Amino acid sequence: MINTCKRILGIDPGEKRIGLALSDPLGLTAQGLPTLQIKSPADAAEKISLVAREREVVKIIIGLPLNMDGTKGDQAERAYHLGSLLEELLGLPIIFRDERLTSRQAELVLLEADMRRSKRKDHLDRLAAQIILQSYLDENEGSNI
C-alpha cells in the first residue's frame, strides 16, 4: 500500500529557538513538535530538514515576522534566508505567512492556562508555530495540501 499522507510543517523562526508544528495527514489540524535549539541559520536548516524528511513533509509554512507597519526588517530577512536554505536542501514549496502577533497570541493562551513563566518559555515557540500553521490550514481547508 502506498503511503498517501501529506503533511505540512509550520515554522516559527527565531535566532536561538525554532518552533515547529506538523499538520495531521488530512491537513485539518496542527500539532506542536519539540522546539529546536539552534546555533546558526545553517544549523536550523539542517535540523528542520531532518524533521521534514522523517515526517514526510510536502510543504513548509514559515512565519514571516513583519514589523507592525507591514515592512520587512532584519527578522524577516532571516526568515527568507532560512526559507532559501530549506528550499535548497529539500526542494519543497516554501510559503511565507505574516506572523505578526502570533507570539503574543500564544503567550495569552498560555497565560489563560495559568502556566508559570518558566514553563511558558518552553511552549511559546511551539504554540506560535501551531497558530501559524493552523491559520494556513483553516484558510486552505478542503484544497489539496
Q: H or E element: which one contains 122?
A: helix 117-139
| Amino acid code (one letter) for 70 | G
- Residue 57 confidence (pLDDT): 97
Task: Encode pLDDT of 24-80 as tens digits.
Answer: 999 999 999 999 999 999 999 999 999 999 999 999 999 998 877 878 889 999 999
The three cell numbers locating residue 20: 515547529
Strand extents, DSSP E, 1-141: 7-12, 17-23, 30-37, 57-64, 94-98
SS3 102: helix
Q: Which domains does the chain have, with CATH numbers?
A: 7-139 (3.30.420.140)
Parallel/antiparallel/unpaired status of strands 7-12 and 17-23: antiparallel
Grid cell of 3 as nine digits: 503511503
| pTM for this prediction | 0.85
CB neighbours of 102 closer than 8 A, spacing ≥ 6? 12, 63, 128, 131, 132
pLDDT for the residue 13: 94
pLDDT at position 3 is 45
Which has more pLDDT, 21 or 125? Answer: 21
pLDDT tens, 74-122?
Answer: 999 999 999 999 999 999 999 999 887 666 666 666 556 555 665 656 6
Residue-level pLDDT at 118: 59
Please give the order of strands across the beta sheet that includes 94-98: 30-37, 17-23, 7-12, 57-64, 94-98
How far, rounded to the nearest angstrom, does the alpha carbon of residue 15 sit from its chain's CA centroid?
Answer: 14
